[in-house]
Amino acid sequence: MGISLHASTVTMPKTEKPYPSIIAFLSGRFPAIPRATWVERISDGKILDEDKVPITVDTEYAPQKRIYYFREVTTEPSIPFAEKILFLDNEILVACKPHFLPVTPGGRYVDECLLNRLRRSTGIEELAPLHRIDRETAGLVLFSVNRKSRGLYGSLFMNGLVDKTYQAIAACRPDQKPASWSVENRIERGTPWFRMETAPGTVNARSSIDLVDVSGDKALFTLHPQTGKTHQLRIHMSGLGFGILNDRYYPVLQDEREDDFGTPLQLVAQKLRFKDPLSGKNREFESGRELLW
């Protein structure tokens, strides 16, 4: 049994009265966890209210209040690849994440995530990721070290002030010529819930994509996302007809299976560039991780 040492939170949203019970809310919010499991966790004092006090099955639903819980998994996969810390000062930490390792706890992963690995190796409990990349994607992730300056660095991503560069490899025709595309569309959660899809409506996802080299039936791409929607680059590449090599979600969802560590998704978060909000200096970090090119 794997149990997280760090609490996760879920906020009870505004809703019409009569309010649901806490059990009904948690069961609906996390459908993969049986109702009986929530009852057991609450009875064991493992679910806390916003004041970090254990709740009971009779605790009333409170809109916009938080509930704290600790992720539990029966068995947790081990990811046999190491992360690397590229930079650390009193404000930020920059790490290069391997393929297959999630940034934060989720699903079957509790301890096997970049955040908890870094907490253990650095002893910095206040670490918090300022953005996310997919579990299947390797590359750079920026963390806040200091809670007091966290909002300043977080606003860089919220306001699109971080220049992000990715590299990808995709199948292509041998006669494909170098080209560039600007992709703009709307991405929403699809079916099943973990897969995203394009939809009509206001644009919320923008990427610049350049095909820079061709070798046989493969092409090397440089990608610059201007927004940060889940699976954005994978969807935009697929939409152009260049599905990223070893992508199990796009363009076609493949059958569920255990990870094949020999065939990682050929997508890497290669560079981060931004102006430091405290020092005013221009910061640039590069992962150094190479694709199978």
**202-230: per-residue pLDDT in tens?**
999 999 999 999 999 999 999 999 999 99
Residues of the chain with CATH 3.10.290.10: 2-73
Q: What string of H, E and C letters represents the secondary structure of the chain?
A: CEECCCCEEEECCCCCCCCCCHHHHHHHHCCCCCHHHHHHHHHCCCCECCCCCECCCCCCCCCCCEEEECCEECCCCCCCCCCEEEEECCCEEEEEECCCCCCCCECCECCCCHHHHHHHHHCCCCCEECCCCCCCCEEEEEEECCHHHHHHHHHHHHCCCCEEEEEEEEECCCCCCCEEEEEEEEEEECCCCCCEEEECCCCCEEEEEEEEEEECCEEEEEEEECCCCCCHHHHHHHHCCCCECCCCCCCCCCCCCCCCCCCCCCEEEEEEEEECCCCCCEEEEECCCCCCC
pLDDT at 18 over 70: yes
Residue whose tokens read 């057991």:
40
256, amino acid identity: E
Mean pLDDT on 27-41 = 91
Q: Give tens-digit pLDDT for 113-170.
A: 999 999 999 999 999 999 999 999 999 999 999 999 999 999 999 999 999 999 999 9
Query: CA 183 → CA 205, 210, 211, 259, 281, distances in Å?
Result: 8, 11, 14, 30, 31
CATH classification number, 165-268, choose in 3.40.1350.10, 3.30.390.30, 3.40.50.300, 3.30.2350.10: 3.30.2350.10
CATH class of 84-162+275-286: alpha beta
Residues of the chain with CATH 3.30.2350.10: 84-162+275-286, 165-268
CA nearest neighbour of 96 among 276, 273, 272, 247: 272
66 — pLDDT class (breaks 50, 70, 90): very high
Q: What is the Cα–Cα distance from 10 to 256, expressed in whole angstroms?
A: 27
Mean pLDDT on 96-108 = 93
Structural domain 2-73, CATH architecture? Roll (3.10)
